[in-house]
Amino acid sequence: MLAVPGRHRSLTLLTFVLVAQVLLIAAQIRSDEHQVRLIRVWAVGTVTPFGRAGTWIVSKIRGTWSGYFALVHTERENQDLKEEMDRLRIRNTQLESEAAEGQRLATLLGFRDTHREAPMLPARVIESSADSSSRVIYINRGERDGIRRNMPVITADGVVGKIFEVFGGASEVLLITDKDSGVGALLAGTRVQGPIGGTGEPFVQMKYVSDDETVTVGQQVLTSGEDRIFPKDLPVGTVTEVKPGSPFKQIRVKPAAHLNSLEEVMVLLTMQESITSSKPASTASDAASGGASSTAAPVKRDR
């Protein structure tokens, strides 16, 4: 038998291991990526109990801190709060008039009524990805709770992402900032549509908006419903930077949801179907904004 010199043994092993892994990646590209799902189910199943335990410990520590140690500062806080309350009373008067106007608009757009009827499931974020190149989180709700792939995940502030993988007691959420993420979106006011794509950075980009369109910094970006995943008119973010391009503008959007500090999220248990069907005011919303908008898209439950 041919003897391999000692110093070449590690090089031979290195070559073998690298080739084996390249073939493994090639196999995943050629076939359905769900062939490796079993490995991920095992890995996530192994790790999530630790994530749950960690979340529980952190919440207990926080509870202890706020319930006991933070009382040391209560007297000072009390004084600050009294001053704050005086300021807020004045501010409240101003806001009441604005709120009344907002209430009327919300009713007109049917937005609030729409979301009241959409069943939601609160979930706690238990982990993020060990893979630093992707933007995913894991939540403590899974198949047993009725979670399915592609369900929208939101917070009160805006869109968070969608369910990407479902496990028994946990789910993987693809954040809108992930490079592979996409959301059908439009600019509030002008109703100009363009998909939102993740960049892997804390911001997202709005694509395919013609250079002829007028886009201003500070403009709100809402979901369009065209992606057949997210219901219409959920806040996606705010335009923070607009650069001319050829033929499309380069638009940077700051997500409305605080994606870097997510601890609790809501999963919309219905797909777009029930939300749009219970939304007679959607046409009113379009009419109110004065622009053409997308029509309700049919339900698509799988990617």
Partner 1 sequence: MAAYARTEQHIEVHKFHLWAVVSVAVAALLIQSFLPVYFPRARLLDLPLLITLYFGFSQRNPSSGLLMGMMIGLMQDSLGRSAIGLYGIVKTLVGYLASSFGSRIDVEHPLSRIGLTAAFYLFHQGVFNLIQRVLLGQHEVFFNSTLGIAAGVNALVAVLLFPLLDRLRLPS
Q: Is 75 or 131 the residue whose CB approaches partner 1 more closely?
A: 131
Q: Is 93 or 132 the residue whose CB approaches partner 1 more closely?
A: 132
Interface with partner 1 (CB under 8 A): 9-11, 13-14, 17-18, 21-22, 24-26, 28-29, 33, 36, 39-40, 42-44, 47, 50-51, 54-55, 58, 125-134, 136-138, 164, 172, 174, 178-180, 200-201, 260-263
Min CB(130)–partner 1 separation in Å: 4
Min CB(219)–partner 1 separation in Å: 26
Q: Is 24 or 108 the residue whose CB approaches partner 1 more closely?
A: 24
The pair of structure tokens assigned to 133 is 């190149």
Min CB(60)–partner 1 separation in Å: 14
Q: Is 97 or 261 the residue whose CB approaches partner 1 more closely?
A: 261
Min CB(40)–partner 1 separation in Å: 6
Min CB(251)–partner 1 separation in Å: 19
Q: Is 139 or 196 the residue whose CB approaches partner 1 more closely?
A: 139
Min CB(301)–partner 1 separation in Å: 21
Q: Is 189 or 200 the residue whose CB approaches partner 1 more closely?
A: 200
